[in-house]
Chains A and B, each alone.
Chain A
């Protein structure tokens, strides 16, 4: 998965980039299954690998397919990135180790969800009952976000002029 991500940095052909990001999403879904998060894996495979790839292909069809120039000032960017990464890794040294049942995250509300959701809400899948019942407001907010995004896309693309009429070409201005 990390290798795929690194390949994404180097590639110039945008079609290959989009396909690779689809593969990246699928690998992430496999990783979620290994980590016991089956619901998340479903969503990632359907939404992340499916819908996002289709959206990007649609954008490619409306724009161009090839990245033109080499990345700018890669040295400064590399420096910033490795500094941030080193800081973050320094931060992880205080984190509980992987799979530790005593980590603070497992001792707040999660035990209550696991014990009571079967009798209080019903469905055997705890993720479903938390999503739809205990944290229903989150889901309402999510729907609001999607609605806003859809409205924004419609505003941006709905009033598009006919292509070619007002569009300026990059070659004419020597770009």
Chain B
């Protein structure tokens, strides 16, 4: 197997796991949102790298070009990017509301406040 081989998938996996790690190991809510973003971008990279054909060009019709890169994943990811930003905005709005209600955006402190309310 020559160099690129499956390397593109591995990069996507490493990025995805980085995002996953941020989401589960960090207590700060804004950092969690950033981690979710990294997770998303890894999926985008995965799709886009699948659509690439060796020797192909960007999928814009022109004379004398035989091989085009597959346009379908590009369309899906275009949609996904915009939807991703919409969900990020919603998550950030939730963070702002949580800050209003609890005065903190650290998960542990929110948990402590909840416990104190119960007792």
Contact = CB atoms under 8 A, between A and B. Distances in A.
Task: Specify whether A and B are partners.
Answer: yes
A85 B9 CA distance: 11
A35 B48 contact: yes
A167 to B, nearest CB: 5
Contact of A55 (B35, B82, B89): B89
Contact count band on B: 35 or more
Given A18-B34, A114-B59, A170 B102 contact: yes
A113 B72 contact: yes
Contacts, number: 284
Contacts of A98: 4-8, 49, 52, 54
Given A59-B96, A127-B59, A17 B30 contact: yes
Interface string B75-117: 1111101111111111011111101111111101100110010
Contacts of B33: 56
Interface string A100-120: 110101100110011001100
A6 B67 CA distance: 36
Given A97-B4, A142-B82, 5 more contacts: A8-B22, A38-B58, A63-B99, A126-B60, A130-B72
Interface of A: 1-2, 5-6, 8-9, 14, 17-18, 21, 24-25, 28, 31-32, 35-40, 43-44, 47-48, 51-52, 55-56, 58-60, 62-64, 67-69, 71-74, 77-78, 80-82, 84-85, 88-89, 92-93, 95, 97-101, 103, 105-106, 109-110, 113-114, 117-118, 124-127, 130-131, 135, 138-139, 142, 145-146, 149-150, 152-153, 156-157, 160-161, 163, 166-170, 173-175
9 contacts: A8-B18, A21-B34, A40-B44, A52-B88, A81-B21, A89-B9, A92-B9, A117-B61, A161-B100
